[in-house]
Structures are given as structure tokens and as C-alpha cells.
Structure 1
């Protein structure tokens, strides 16, 4: 009986995908590696974004999905730098990274805070209080 090598590869992918955390979207080229810490009352997402300015970074929370993105574009100049030099090769014109993670439970969007210091972005997402998850609907 001959074995199909693709069946073994498929089983390997299934085993790998079962090990991912429920809120992990995976790290791909051009994405940001993140640490997600859970405390008693919040989730803290930390991402290294060296080389970006505060204005280059966008943090968006939509429902249970947090999206971090950053784009940096260098000044376009074929003349060279301010010292009068001339570029022979210029490969660092634009850098763009992004990452989206799904949060395992609702968070308080109004109390969410983001801080960027020395190339490290820290987003603190307070968990929603149990009583805040909805409201009563009167029955007529």
C-alpha cells in the first residue's frame, strides 16, 4: 500500500492550527509581532515598532478585533541627502506593517489607552464589566 505524502502534510497543518490561541491571527511577513498579556481587569497588547514616529501608527478597535498598523515613508529625493551626496541605491523609501488580533472577550472601548515610547507600542484594553455586557429589554 502506498502512502500519499500530502495526507501527512495536511495532518501536520491540522495539528499546528489546533495549537493556535483562539485570538491569534498568526505572524506573517509585513506584520507586527505582538505580546498579549491578560491581567485580572485588562488585556495589554505590546508591539515593537522601531523606526516609526507616533504619527505613523494607527490603532483601531472594532468589536472584538484590534488592528495595529504603521506606515513610514521617507522623503523622496533623487538628489541625495542634505550634505550634497548622491544615492547609488535607495531601498528604504517606505515601510508598512500591520497586525490584527481577535480579543477573547469584550473590552471597554471608551477606557482603552495606547502609549508609544522608544519604539514600543503598548495598548491597554480594560475588560468590560460583567454588568456592562447588555441591558434589559422590557416586555410589553
Structure 2
């Protein structure tokens, strides 16, 4: 007996739906070129944590402007391997960026940032702040 082609389509759609749901429950679907982040509200401050593996502190530009935290990470592409040519090369991404809109004003003078083991952590104490752009140093 021959299978109904609509059954195959329905199975395919069910499988795709499950994969999307699994991706969303695992923290969301990652868009290429963006940085995966967590934003926590501790009551007194927002804590933004971002994964930036393979970058150095000097590669990251972190700014706070008009209620948004923005970070951009850029690194130069590594030269071809000294021992020969690549058989496979997947680590060519050299830049990433993300903008996080904060739900409440923060004390711009008290913002602190640290970078350790490829993880950027920004602490943004809540309070009313100014409208100008402020560059944030990473310790």
C-alpha cells in the first residue's frame, strides 16, 4: 500500500516544530553575529552577562547611551596556520555585537564591567541617569 504524501509533510512539519521548540527552551535560537546574553534584575541593579569567547578586553567596545547598553567585539582574523593549509576552517567570525535596552534608568557613574574567561559581566545599578553616551572601561 502506498503512503499518503500529506502524511510525510505532516511528519516533517512536526519534526521542525519540535526542533524550534527545543531551541527556544534551550535559551533561544542564536542569530549569527550576535552575542548570547543573560540579563538579570537583582532588585538593585541589572547584571548583563555575555559570552565572548576568543576575544580580549581590548577587542570589546562597551557603551551606555539613551537607556541601551551596546557592546561590539572585533578581532583580527588569525593568519593561516604556519604548518600548512586548512582542511576545515570554521573559526573565521571576527566580530559580534549586541544592544540591550534597559527597562529602567541606571546610575551611569556607578556602572562596572569585568571580563574573565571569555565572559563579559556588566553591573548597572538602578537610578535615574543622564541622556549622554558614556564609554565603560572593562577591568
One fold, TM greater than 0.5? yes
2:111 is equivalent to residue 108 of structure 1: no
TM-score of the superposed pair, with normalisation by structure 1: 0.63
Structure of greater Rg: 1
2:40 is equivalent to residue 42 of structure 1: no
Gaps of 5+ in 1: 1-25, 134-140
Larger deviation, residues 120-129 vs 91-100: 91-100
Q: For the residues of structure 1 that align with 2:93 and 2:39, how far apart are their CA atoms?
A: 27
What is the match of residue 31 of structure 1? 34
**Offset from partner CA, 1:43-101 (integer Å, 9 cap, x none):** 00001111111111111110201112111213445xx42xxx22245744452111101
RMSD across aligned positions (CA):
2.3
Going from structure 1 to structure 2, the CA distance change for 1:27 and 1:64 (only over 3 Å counts) comes to: farther
* Number of residues of Structure 1 aligned to a counterpart in Structure 2: 101
Paired residue secondary structure (2:75): strand
TM-score of the superposed pair, with normalisation by structure 2: 0.63
Q: For the residues of structure 2 that align with 1:90 and 1:58, how far apart are their CA atoms?
A: 30
What does residue range 1-140 of structure 1 map to in structure 2 within 5 Å?
28-76=31-79, 80-81=81-82, 85-88=83-86, 91=89, 92-128=91-127
